[in-house]
């Protein structure tokens, strides 16, 4: 309340009333109440105005209050104001839940879908976050307020939900708005889960110590809305040794196995994971294929590694011993290519799921060197890449399947382009200082440029004329960053060290715009050790 001049505070005390009374607030004592009282009167501007502060006395919702100051108060020189003053205030209604996503009764909700709650007013995070519950509870679940819209919250389960299970998302009345007003009524919505969400995903291997990756995290490639982070949820977590004396060579508390690779099929149905046993020295790796949503194991293949999904997700190529095998999860059938040199990297598929480009290591002779060869999965044959001999590595296939880009060493050093399939284009060197990373379209290559005496950079290259456009630098990335190109060619993913000191995974558009964190590991948690993309 403001006066036209300073007044004597003692002449006001006892003349100020509120009707109806404010719960937990006695205005007759508010003029002398301490600073931590539920309500108190604070004088300002040399006693020419006062404010009723009531942090612990919340006004009732949708209520008209009458404030009255009876006449008889005076100024310091003794002039008395004899007029009664009254004014009215009507409070807003109690906050309400405007929408819950997924809505009550929804079925087939993606197991990795972020859950959102929309209120009709800004809500206090301190009271709203603990008032939101997901049942059955999922360990590690977080409630995240939208940083740009305080009326919206996201529930991010700590683990992928289980397919085919009914869940309930609820909000208790203990949630309050930014003014301390409690929710008008609690709300709950029940839903049933289905498979993984459509669209692109990132798969990140995370390690908490040098022993290796112990968590596999599935992420979306964009935030559900502005002001919220990208949804990240744990798909698999390696168990730890619970025996005090240890489990084989694994000490108590150490992981029983670690993950060396994880890739999601393009149809989002299957997850291929390579596990390394940590309890037995020299144990072979195991390739496990799981239903990505349900977590059920489809097959486990001892001694297998370097998995690679076909573009449609119906076939999985991998190495086992000296052979490359093709697994079909739909019916469990496996075919085998002729034995040959062992792979040094996962096979690269052509767009029709027939061509495989193999990066192999010569096993004969005293000196081993990598080379590139082709395989036809329909006829079951391995053969040399026409016109290309000698050491080579890093092969990638163009989206139309007519070109293979690869890096050759020695006197032929640099990125070369070789025609395959229906193309009869002879091999040609594109640039001596490039290492191919992937195609964004049939005419554009993403590559690592390392000019002599210069700094490495990620560039987009026109394969028709070797015109190069450098992409923006990656803060926190190593001098020669490892960059992954999505199968669609629209996005790039990479690892970089965040200000927290932890290595995180990031995604950006193929032109280098809109860099976004896929993970947000902080000090004392994990480091991202690899990232792959689908979509």
**CA-based nearest residue to 505, from 477, 480, 524:** 477
Helix (H) or strand (E) holding 297: strand 297-302
Q: What is the pLDDT of residue 199?
A: 87
**Whether the Cβ atoms of residue 233 and residue 330 lie closer than 8 Å to each other:** no
Collapsing DSSP to helix, strand or coil, 384 comes out as: strand
Mean pLDDT computed over every residue of the chain: 93
Burial (CB count within 10 angstroms: exposed 0-12, middle 13-18, buried 19+), residue 166 = exposed
Please tell us whether the domain made up of 97-193 is placed in CATH 2.60.40.3710: yes
**Beta strand 304-309 pairing with 297-302:** unpaired
Q: Count other C-beta atoms under 10 Å from residue 200's C-beta.
A: 21
Alpha-carbon gap, residue 138 to 468, rounded angstroms: 48
**Beta strand 64-69 pairing with 85-90:** antiparallel
Alpha-carbon gap, residue 195 to 219, rounded angstroms: 14
Q: Count other C-beta atoms under 10 Å from residue 449's C-beta.
A: 18
Half-sphere exposure of 244 (CA within 13 A, CB side): 0
β-pair partners for 234: 159, 217
Q: Which two tokens stand for residue 358?
A: 């193999």
Q: Which residues contact 457 (CB under 8 A, 6 or more apart)?
A: 448, 449, 470, 471, 473
Helix (H) or strand (E) holding 31: none
Confidence bin at 457 (pLDDT 50/70/90)? confident
Counts for the chain of helices (H) and strands (E), in that order: 3, 44
Class of domain 201-534: mainly beta
Q: Which residues contact 331 (CB under 8 A, 6 or more apart)?
A: none
pLDDT tens by residue, 336-375: 999 999 999 999 999 999 999 999 998 766 668 899 999 9
489 pLDDT more than 80: yes
Mean pLDDT of 133-143: 95
pLDDT tens by residue, 184-223: 999 999 999 999 998 899 999 999 988 899 999 999 998 8
User: Domain-by-domain residue ranges, the chain?
Assistant: 9-90, 97-193, 201-534
Alpha-carbon gap, residue 161 to 109, rounded angstroms: 10
**Whether the Cβ atoms of residue 529 and residue 205 lie closer than 8 Å to each other:** yes
pLDDT tens by residue, 245-275: 999 999 999 999 999 999 999 999 999 999 9
Q: Which two tokens stand for residue 173?
A: 């009345």
Q: Which residues contact 246 (CB under 8 A, 6 or more apart)?
A: 252, 254
DSSP 405-438: EEEE-GGG-EEEEEE-TT--PPPEEEETTEEEEE
Q: What is the dihedral of CA 282, 285, 534, 226, to 10 degrees?
A: -60
Q: Which two tokens stand for residue 356?
A: 């495989």
**Beta strand 187-193 pairing with 106-109:** parallel
Q: What is the pLDDT of residue 518?
A: 94
**Whether the Cβ atoms of residue 218 and residue 531 lie closer than 8 Å to each other:** no
Three-class HEC string of 170-196: EECCCCEECCCCECCCCEEEEEEECCC
Alpha-carbon gap, residue 528 to 427, rounded angstroms: 37
Q: How far is CA 411 from CA 278, 408, 414, 428, in A?
A: 42, 9, 9, 14
Alpha-carbon gap, residue 66 to 182, rounded angstroms: 22
Burial (CB count within 10 angstroms: exposed 0-12, middle 13-18, buried 19+), residue 155 = buried
pLDDT tens by residue, 235-250: 999 999 999 999 999 9
pLDDT tens by residue, 40-92: 999 999 999 999 999 999 999 999 999 999 999 999 999 999 999 999 999 98
Collapsing DSSP to helix, strand or coil, 356 comes out as: strand
Mean pLDDT of 291-295: 94
- Please report, rounded to a whole number, the percentage of residues in the chain having pLDDT higher than 90: 82
Sign of CA dihedral 334, 335, 339, 341: negative
pLDDT tens by residue, 387-431: 998 899 999 999 999 999 999 988 889 999 999 977 677 899 999
Q: Which residues contact 508 (CB under 8 A, 6 or more apart)?
A: 491, 492, 514, 515, 516
524 pLDDT more than 90: no
**Whether the Cβ atoms of residue 437 and residue 428 lie closer than 8 Å to each other:** no
Q: Count other C-beta atoms under 10 Å from residue 294's C-beta.
A: 17
Phi, psi (rounded to 5 degrees) for 154: -115, 135
Q: pTM value? A: 0.86
């Amino acid at each position: 309340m403001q006066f036209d001049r300073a007044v004597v505070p003692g002449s006001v005390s006892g003349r100020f009333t509120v009707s109806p009374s404010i719960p937990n607030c006695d205005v007759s004592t508010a003029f002398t109440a301490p600073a931590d009282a539920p309500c108190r009167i604070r004088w300002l501007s040399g006693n020419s105005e006062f404010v009723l502060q009531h942090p612990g006395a919340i006004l009732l919702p949708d209520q008209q209050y009458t404030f009255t100051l009876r006449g008889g108060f005076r100024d310091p020189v003794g002039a008395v104001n004899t007029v009664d003053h009254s004014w009215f205030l009507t409070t807003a209604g109690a906050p309400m839940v405007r929408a819950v996503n997924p809505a009550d009764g929804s079925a087939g909700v993606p197991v990795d879908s972020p859950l959102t709650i929309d209120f009709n007013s800004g809500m206090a995070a301190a009271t709203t976050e603990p008032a939101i519950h997901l049942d059955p509870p999922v360990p590690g679940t977080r409630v995240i307020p939208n940083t740009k819209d305080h009326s919206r919250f996201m529930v991010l389960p700590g683990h992928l939900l289980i397919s085919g299970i009914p869940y309930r998302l609820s909000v208790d009345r203990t949630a309050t708005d930014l003014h301390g007003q409690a929710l008008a009524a609690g709300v709950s919505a029940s839903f049933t889960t289905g498979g993984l969400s459509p669209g692109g995903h990132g798969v990140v291997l995370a390690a908490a110590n040098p022993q290796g990756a112990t968590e596999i995290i599935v992420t979306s490639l964009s935030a559900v809305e502005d002001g919220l982070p990208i949804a990240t949820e744990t798909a698999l977590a390696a168990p730890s040794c619970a025996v005090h004396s240890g489990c084989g060579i694994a000490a108590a508390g150490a992981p029983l196995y670690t993950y060396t690779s994880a890739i999601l099929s393009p149809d989002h149905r299957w997850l291929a994971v390579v596990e390394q046993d940590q309890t037995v020295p020299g144990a072979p790796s195991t390739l496990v294929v799981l239903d990505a949503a349900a977590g059920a194991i489809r097959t486990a293949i001892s001694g297998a590694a370097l998995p690679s999904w076909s573009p449609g997700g119906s076939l999985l190529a991998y190495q086992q011993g000296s052979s490359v095998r093709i697994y079909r999860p739909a019916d469990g059938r496996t075919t085998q290519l002729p034995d040959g040199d062992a792979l040094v990297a996962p096979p690269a598929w052509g767009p029709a799921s027939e061509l495989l480009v193999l990066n192999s290591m010569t096993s004969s002779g005293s000196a081993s060197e990598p080379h590139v060869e082709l395989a036809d999965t329909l006829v079951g044959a391995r053969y040399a890449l026409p016109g290309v001999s000698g050491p080579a590595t890093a092969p990638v296939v163009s989206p139309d399947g007519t070109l293979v880009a690869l890096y050759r060493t020695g006197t032929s050093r640099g990125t070369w382009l070789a025609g395959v399939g229906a193309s009869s284009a002879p091999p040609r060197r594109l640039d001596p200082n490039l290492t191919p990373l992937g195609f964004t379209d049939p005419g554009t290559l993403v590559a690592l440029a390392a000019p002599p005496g210069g700094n490495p950079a990620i560039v987009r290259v026109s394969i028709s004329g070797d015109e190069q456009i450098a992409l923006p630098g990656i803060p926190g990335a190593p001098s020669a960053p490892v960059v992954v190109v999505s199968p669609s060619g629209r996005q790039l993913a990479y690892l970089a060290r965040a200000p927290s000191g932890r290595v995180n995974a990031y995604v950006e558009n193929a032109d280098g715009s809109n860099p976004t964190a896929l993970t947000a590991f902080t000090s004392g948690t994990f480091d991202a050790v690899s990232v792959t993309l689908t979509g």
